[in-house]
Chain A
Amino acid sequence: MGFKFFGVFVVLLLLFGQAHSDVVILAEQRSPVLEKLAKNLTELITKDVSHHTLEYTKNLKSTDIVILAGDKAVSQWRGSQPSIAIWVGRTVIDENHAHLSSAIYSEPPVVRQLALARFLFPDARISSIYSNQAEEWLVSELKVAEGSGLSLVLQSDDQTLNYALKKALSGYDVLLGVADSTIYNPSTVKNILISAYRQNIPLIGPHRAYIRAGAIATTYSSLEHTTTRLAEMIMAERLPAVGYNPYFTVMFNEQVARSLNILLPASPEAVAEAIRSL
């Protein structure tokens, strides 16, 4: 209660101030989720947070801090205000990094996903498929993970996904999905899951959307995690560099686990906690 009153007081105070800085969330379209983000963020920081579409760009004050949500907002952004990109693929962030002050990558980091796989299946042999079209950053993250035991299978250009799957599934216990859209996309996901599950091999990741499709688990950052991280970034003396969201939790697909006869830990949050402390 006290905090709320204090917040209102501060906001009122700032409204009457001259050089106050506001936080503006820009996106192609207004969305209830971003409204919620704005509302939650307001409660965490001592700034006014509002949500607008891209047309609002011309109304921005030079002191505003801009949160760019989504591809379009990021790729059209040319403003001089401090900016943080969220809910954008790492590739888009890299392409536009000259115009951005900071960003939170939306993909879970490979090492974090690997840690999750390790935690759930301690003895497992883990493999990952990637293609020649994989982004440079992904390849370098994969190489790092390879150093800690991840087996990499490169899908060669002249072979279909089935051949790469065959390689990645035989002799391994867990398949780690990564953000390579040549491998993982809506037209391949069914084939990948069915092939893996035929051999009793669970798929971890690549990200949250795949849980509903049938992946067994992934780490992800929720709206609250994004809010927390944004608050932390905004309140810092200077904006932290582009990076992953250190706040995350774990999501399971219980039905998949049941079908694969895998008993998952009862609390995803405890798993996330364990991974964080690694």
Chain B
Amino acid sequence: MNWFKHVLVSAFVMSFPLSATANDMFFPDAEFDDTDIVPEVLTATRLKQPRAEVPGSMTVIDAKQIERWGVRTIPELMRFVPGMFVKHGSDDAVAYHASSPSLMRRMQVLIDGRSVYRAGLASVGWDDIPVALEDIQRIEVFRGPNAATYGANAFMATINIVTFHPADTLGSRAYVRKGHQGTRDYFASHSGQAGETLYRLTAVSKEDDGFDGSEDDGPGDTYHDATRDRFVSLNLTNTLSDRTMLLTEAAYKSGRKQLPQASAEPEAPNEENDSGFLYSRLNHEFSVNHSMQLQAYWQTESRRATRKNCGPSVTLSSELYALYDQDPYWADVVGRTIPGALMSQDSSPEAYAQAQALVQGIALGAVTPGQVEAAIEDATERDFDISQADLDQAQQIFINAFNGSDFSNLAEVVCGEYDVDMKEQRVDVEWQDTMQWSDSLRSVAGLSYRRDQVESETYFNGVVSSDLFRIFANTEWHITERLIANVGGMYENEDTNDAVFSPRVALNLLVKPQQSLRLVYSTSVRSPDLLEKSPDYSIEVAELTDNYLGLDKALYYAHQQGRFGQLEHEKITSVELGYYARLPARDIAFDVKLYKDHLYQLISNPLNLQTPVTNSDTTLNIKGVDWQVTWTPVREHSFWWSGAYVDTEVRLGDTSFLTPDEIGRLQDVETRLSAEYSNNLSWTFDPGSWQITQSYFWHNAYNRDRTNPKHYRRYELHWHKAWPVKGVSINTDVFWHHLIDDNYITYSNEVYSQTDLGYLQVGINF
């Protein structure tokens, strides 16, 4: 970079006193190189670009804004981003426009260049990210597919979190926060300088009780979803020379998470987790026009949970396990539907009698496949094709359960426990090179290698891994002074998936220096994760209670080996037309995006053992408008307004094996979290010595409920005041949120019993 050059020039200039006024006459001009300037210049393409020249839609949330809103978690910040939908509380689900709320798997999340998107079970666990909101300098949300820059899984959006340089947080900070829902947060951080090294050490403990709901929507907080997370993080920034910088980050986190209790579980399970990472990045400037970046990181994550469960003993029979391989739906009937009916003698005598007759008929060989098919199709509403071989296998299972007088063993309940432990590791090395070829042409290109490894007896029967190689490039070309083209793409080769190439082409027309019209065509993919691609998913239940099979431990009949179904990459193609403008005179900036997204080969089914067959065959068409406006009419007042109109159309693939109820749920799952219209308005009043921010969220027609529109309205208030006392600043914060509509967003147990919630915070900076 030219820093070196101009620093040399400056050194010469300043040692020569004439320079102060005359240097420009004595020395040739060294032009300033803006790639060292970070601010509003964005990383959409890995090239720092002024807002108006970015090939896509961006929302930038900086530290000042985070401080204004006063929320506790990253998902709560995402609520202010146009088109982003967030479940209540600190849950994991954040979706852009539309997506399944159960896993956050269609967005890439990066922390200082490190991906926290999990490989084993494609998802992002917000609670597991060891970064304090107070350490975040800014969050850049790229709204749209961005695989051209960040690769697979930068699918619908990319959230890029950049933490503060330790020089910007020099000193010490600490606070205590207490509030409703068992909120107890502690934060302490110290930044300092030792020689040429600047460092920051942050320790955080964060916990809350989650929602108030319960499994049966009863009163009190019986919904088992409390979390407690503790971490320490370290940032070391070394300036090795004028041209070389080394950043090292590391963190260790330990957490405890309550897992919601399933109906057959005698007690609610808990998960213990540990995670850590080590990250290093070297930036070097060869010259004014040429720089490179080399980064490498290792991260590991371990989750441990033991679940207790009770169910019909027959589900542990080895014959049923074998039957599941041949026909999982028929195995479900034999192992769950029939035993379930046999247990319901009192509640549903008719079903009981039918099941009795069916069992006896099959055991004695007295019924035909046609009769059985008719009976079970009637009971389950699912289409079956029952053969004599199917009946023979069921007959064997039933005869084994015969106790000499009846088949009551089929209704016998056994309890046991199993673990769902998982350990994930990732190593990633990436090199990128940035080159300014001429005044109008620059490019960034790079290579990376990543290895993901997951160890789990339950999900993979051991260790599985995947290796990923990537090559990427992006070129920015100022065709004319006002027309800019960005062309880029990434080629990825993963051993567990097909190779893919994701291109992007964008044109920005600068109407004025800070106003532009953009037309973007982009594509992206989400790679099926290791569980989707190579499951060896079976549950070994141990510590069994007495059972007619005489087992101490056994495999649960439902399992997945090889693959869940025909799973391809999920794909998206997106066309967007956008307009960005900043009018400095009024300090107003706005961005409008009109888009049409076509998502196909989506895997909409949840991956679990209740879903024997999963296909990547859902199609989702989304079109609509996103808008965002920021306005500071006078210093004391600032406004943030964002919103979206989302129009979705879901087309399911093969549903021939599904029941009407399952089809209905599948139809809804991709849009459960989406509102047709959403508006988020925030107003900050900052007279200088204190600050108050009020936000209002208004979301219409949630959860696909367009015929009977369900609203979600929420009001937030954050008041902040700092009291300077002899070089120390005492900070006080009050945060309050009021649910105007207390509708749940996605699932009925995700509710608060009170409509007013808040916290108090006291802290110190010195």
Contact = CB atoms under 8 A, between A and B. Distances in A.
Q: Do A and B bind each other?
A: yes
A261 B635 contact: no
Given A87-B17, A208-B23, A209-B23, A256 B37 contact: yes
A70 interface: yes
Contacts of A88: 17
Given A33-B22, A87-B22, A198-B168, A70 B40 contact: no
Contact of A186 (B11, B20, B38, B50): B11
B25 A186 contact: no
Contacts of B25: 32-33, 223
A166 B29 contact: no
A190 B9 CA distance: 13
Interface string A107-127: 100000000000000010000
Contact of B168 (A86, A169, A260): A169
B7 A197 contact: no
B34 interface: yes
B171 interface: yes
B167 A162 contact: yes
A96 interface: no
Interface string B237-278: 001001000000000000000000000000000000000000
Nearest to A222: B21
B513 A263 contact: yes
B283 to A, nearest CB: 12
B481 interface: no
A71 interface: yes
Contacts, number: 148
Given A71-B17, A189-B10, A263-B514, A213 B36 contact: no
B193 A162 contact: yes
B36 A209 contact: no
A185 B239 CA distance: 17
Nearest to A256: B32
B513 A190 contact: no
Contact of B39 (A32, A198, A208): A198
Q: Which of A199, A210, A223 has the most CB of B within 10 A?
A: A199
Interface in A217-263: 220-221, 223, 226, 253, 255-256, 258-263
Nearest to A206: B20
B37 A260 contact: yes
Nearest to A181: B14
Interface in A185-201: 185-187, 189-191, 193-195, 197-200
Q: What is the size category of the interface that chain A forms with chain B?
A: 35 or more
B382 interface: no
Tell me what chain B mostly uses at the interface: helix, strand, loop, or mixed.
mixed
A31 interface: yes
B29 A212 contact: yes
B10 A199 contact: no
B20 A212 contact: no
A89 interface: yes
B366 interface: no
Contact of B50 (A86, A181, A258): A258
A92 interface: yes
A155 B635 CA distance: 28
A275 interface: no
Interface string A134-178: 000000000000000000000000001011011001100000000
A255 B6 contact: no
Nearest to A190: B3
Interface string A62-77: 0000000111000000
Contacts of A260: 37, 39-40
Contacts of A209: 10, 13-14, 19-20, 23
A198 B14 contact: no
Given A33-B26, A165-B167, A261 B34 contact: no
A51 interface: no
Contacts of A193: 36
Contacts of A195: 165, 167-168
Interface in A1-48: 27, 31-33
Given A165-B167, A261-B39, A87 B198 contact: no
B499 interface: no
A166 B39 contact: no
Contacts of A106: 17, 20-21
A91 B50 CA distance: 41
A68 B239 CA distance: 41
B634 interface: yes
Contacts of A107: 20
Nearest to B29: A212
Contacts of B14: 181, 185-186, 209
B41 interface: yes
Given A169-B168, A200-B40, 5 more contacts: A89-B20, A190-B3, A195-B165, A226-B21, A259-B39
Closest 5 CB pairs of A and B: A186-B11, A259-B34, A71-B17, A106-B20, A200-B39
30 contacts: A33-B26, A70-B16, A70-B18, A87-B18, A107-B20, A162-B167, A163-B170, A163-B193, A166-B169, A181-B14, A186-B10, A190-B7, A194-B37, A195-B167, A197-B37, A198-B137, A207-B20, A208-B24, A212-B10, A213-B7, A213-B10, A214-B32, A214-B37, A221-B21, A255-B34, A258-B513, A259-B39, A261-B514, A261-B582, A263-B582
Interface of B: 3, 6-11, 13-14, 16-26, 29-34, 36-41, 48, 50-51, 62, 137, 165, 167-171, 193, 198, 239, 242, 513-514, 582, 584, 634-635
